[in-house]
């Protein structure tokens, strides 16, 4: 209510809207705080103790200190009065508290997925003034991060359940799941209400922006690009002729419904690349993709170099940066390629790849998973290399500026 009121809604309209909501939410912080009627000074002997009963137990049980030693330290700390310094001990390292405001990041992190972890790291580096948390309630900021999170069945619930009247909100690099593929999984009107109260709304690509506007979102919004575009190109030597293949196991949830047809096309392309003397490297963005890589290697009749990107982000980024071209079914193999200046061919197993490709001006390079073939992949890979990445790099530079500007805007809103 408070957020909507700040956005310009009148009292009558707020009341009318509230009667239509089906949300039954518990806010963890007060809407209004009232001062005490009588002001009193803090007692001079009222102090925080530096050791608590839990710490006493830890010292006795886990650190093997004697009960007498630990109890003596506990009593000493409880007896401190104003003006005295805490007793220093050799067994306890004092560290200052992190005073940065907490930003609760909503996204698909912690699941051994290369793209999601790279996006989280990028956001963490983008907002050094905030403590980014992936669990718990928000302190000052509720941040919808990277990934295709809008219209994906659970994320609206996640943000509304963690909302409080005083928390700021922001959207950085999020994608909108295309209803043509996913159907309508969440109520667009509820998303619009939430987005209308954000300090900043930046989406991954132009198709995501158009979708929100078609739903009726009329607030400030821009294409900020994927947050992983903030990755800097590492200092690695180019490997002439190298092709990186990054498939995805989708469990049949892709255009055409067949992971098998994509594996067959990639294996055919790999066979052609090898016959031309090119170096082929297989990149797994998730443990789920390992099986696809094994099948492609088996069908191409050779043992291919394998990079488990979900375990080693640095190696994955360096491998992509060293390549001539990336053929990526996994979205972030293409995003990383754009960030480090490597040409790429997106296999659109879901619309999010088209959304990203359009954001950097190469939508014409996209090939859908129900139209893919080995010869088509080879042809588009050669075309991508011949065109180069000059235009892509211009878009990347633009989005890096927008992301940094967004971070400053959000910082002002949070710190106000």
289 and 212 assigned to the same domain = no
325 with 211, same domain: the answer is: no
Specify whether 335 is located in the same domain as 409: no
| 75 occurs within a structural domain | no
> How would DSSP label each residue in 35-96?
PPSS--PPPTT----S--HHHHHHHHHTS---HHHHHHHHHHHHT--TTPPPPP-SS-----
What tens digit of pLDDT does each residue of 307-347 get? 999 999 999 999 999 999 999 999 999 999 999 999 999 99
User: Is 31 contained in some domain?
Assistant: no
Q: Predicted confidence band at 153 (pLDDT cuts at 50, 70, 90)? A: confident
In a domain, 322, yes or no: yes
**In the structure, what pLDDT confidence band is assigned to residue 117 with cuts at 50, 70 and 90?**
very high
**CB distance 226 to 356 below 8 Å:** yes
Query: Which one is predicted more confidently, 64 or 330?
Result: 330
Same domain, 225 and 257: no
- Give the pLDDT score at 369: 98
Same domain, 173 and 312: no
385 and 254, same domain (yes or no): yes
Tokens (6 digits) for 280: 């082929």
Q: Name which of 2-11, 50-59, 236-245 the model is least confident about.
A: 50-59
Cα(273)–Cα(382) distance, integer angstroms: 11
**For residue 4, what pLDDT is reported?**
59
Per-residue pLDDT, 15 = 66
pLDDT tens per residue, range 175-204: 999 999 999 999 999 999 999 999 999 999
Is the pLDDT reported for residue 8 higher than 90?
no
Q: Residue 95's pLDDT is what?
A: 58
pLDDT of residue 77: 43
- Asked if the structure places residue 15 within a domain, the reply is no
pLDDT at position 339 = 98
Residue 379: partners with Cβ closer than 8 Å, 6 or more residues away: none
69 occurs within a structural domain: no
> ∠ CA(96), CA(102), CA(108), 5° rounding?
125
Residue 18's pLDDT is: 64
Lowest mean pLDDT among 90-94, 99-103, 235-239: 90-94
Q: Is residue 336 part of a domain?
A: yes
Shared domain for 389 and 264, answered yes or no, is yes
Q: What is the mean pLDDT of residues 91-106?
A: 77
What CATH code is carried by the domain that includes residue 337? 3.40.50.2000
Average pLDDT across the chain, whole number: 86
Contacts of 223 (CB under 8 A, 6+ apart): 202, 203, 204, 205, 206, 208, 209, 359, 399, 402
Q: What is the pLDDT of residue 133?
A: 97
Q: Does residue 363 form part of some domain?
A: yes
The answer to whether residue 237 is domain-embedded is no
Query: Within this chain, do residues 121 and 262 fall inside the same structural domain, yes or no?
Result: no
Per DSSP, the residues of 142-170 read: EEE-SEEEETSSSHHHHHHHT--TT-EEE
C-alpha 193/C-alpha 219 separation (Å) is 10
Domain residues for the domain of 324 are 243-395
257 and 388 within one domain: yes
278 and 224 within one domain: no
What pLDDT, in 10s, does the model give residues 262-308?
Answer: 999 999 999 999 999 999 999 999 999 999 999 999 999 988 999 99
Residues 299 and 156 in one domain: no
Q: Are residues 251 and 385 in the same domain?
A: yes
CATH code (residue 173): 3.40.50
Q: How many domains does the chain divide into?
A: 2
- Strand pairing class (344-348; 367-368): parallel
């Amino acid at each position: 209510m408070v957020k909507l009121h700040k956005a310009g809604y009148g009292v009558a309209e707020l009341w009318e809207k509230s009667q239509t909501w089906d949300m039954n939410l518990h806010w963890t912080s007060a809407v209004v705080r009232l001062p005490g009627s009588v002001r009193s000074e803090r007692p001079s002997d009222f102090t925080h103790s530096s050791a608590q009963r839990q710490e006493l137990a830890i010292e006795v049980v886990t650190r093997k200190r004697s009960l007498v030693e630990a109890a003596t330290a506990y009593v000493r700390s409880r007896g401190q009065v104003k003006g005295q310094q805490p007793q220093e001990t050799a067994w306890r390292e004092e560290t200052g508290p992190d005073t940065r405001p907490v930003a609760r990041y909503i996204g698909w992190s912690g699941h051994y997925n290369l793209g999601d972890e790279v996006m989280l790291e990028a956001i963490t580096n983008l907002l050094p003034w905030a403590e980014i948390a992936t669990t718990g309630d928000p302190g000052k900021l509720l941040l919808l991060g990277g990934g295709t999170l809008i219209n994906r069945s659970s994320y609206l619930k996640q943000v509304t359940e963690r909302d409080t009247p005083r928390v700021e909100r922001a959207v950085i690099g999020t994608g909108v799941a295309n209803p043509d593929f996913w159907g309508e999984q969440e109520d667009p009107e509820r998303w619009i209400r939430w987005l209308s109260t954000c300090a900043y709304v930046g989406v991954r690509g132009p198709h995501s922006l158009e979708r929100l506007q078609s739903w009726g979102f009329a607030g400030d919004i821009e294409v900020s690009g994927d947050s992983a575009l903030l990755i800097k190109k590492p200092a690695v030597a180019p490997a002439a002729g190298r092709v990186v293949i990054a498939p995805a196991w989708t469990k049949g949830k892709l255009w055409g419904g067949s992971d098998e047809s994509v594996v067959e096309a990639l294996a055919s392309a790999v066979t052609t690349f090898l016959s031309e003397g090119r170096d082929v490297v297989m990149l797994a963005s998730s443990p789920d993709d390992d099986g696809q890589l094994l099948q492609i290697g088996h069908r191409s009749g050779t043992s291919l170099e394998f990079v488990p990107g979900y375990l080693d982000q640095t190696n994955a980024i360096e491998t992509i940066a060293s390549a001539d071209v990336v053929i990526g079914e996994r979205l972030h193999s293409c995003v990383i390629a754009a960030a480090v200046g490597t040409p790429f061919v997106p296999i659109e197993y879901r619309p999010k790849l088209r959304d990203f490709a359009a954001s950097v001006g190469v939508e014409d390079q996209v090939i859908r998973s129900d139209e893919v073939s080995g010869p088509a992949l080879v042809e588009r890979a050669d075309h991508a290399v011949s065109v180069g990445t000059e235009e892509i790099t211009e878009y990347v530079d633009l989005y890096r500026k927008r992301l940094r500007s967004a971070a400053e805007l959000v910082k002002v809103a949070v710190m106000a």
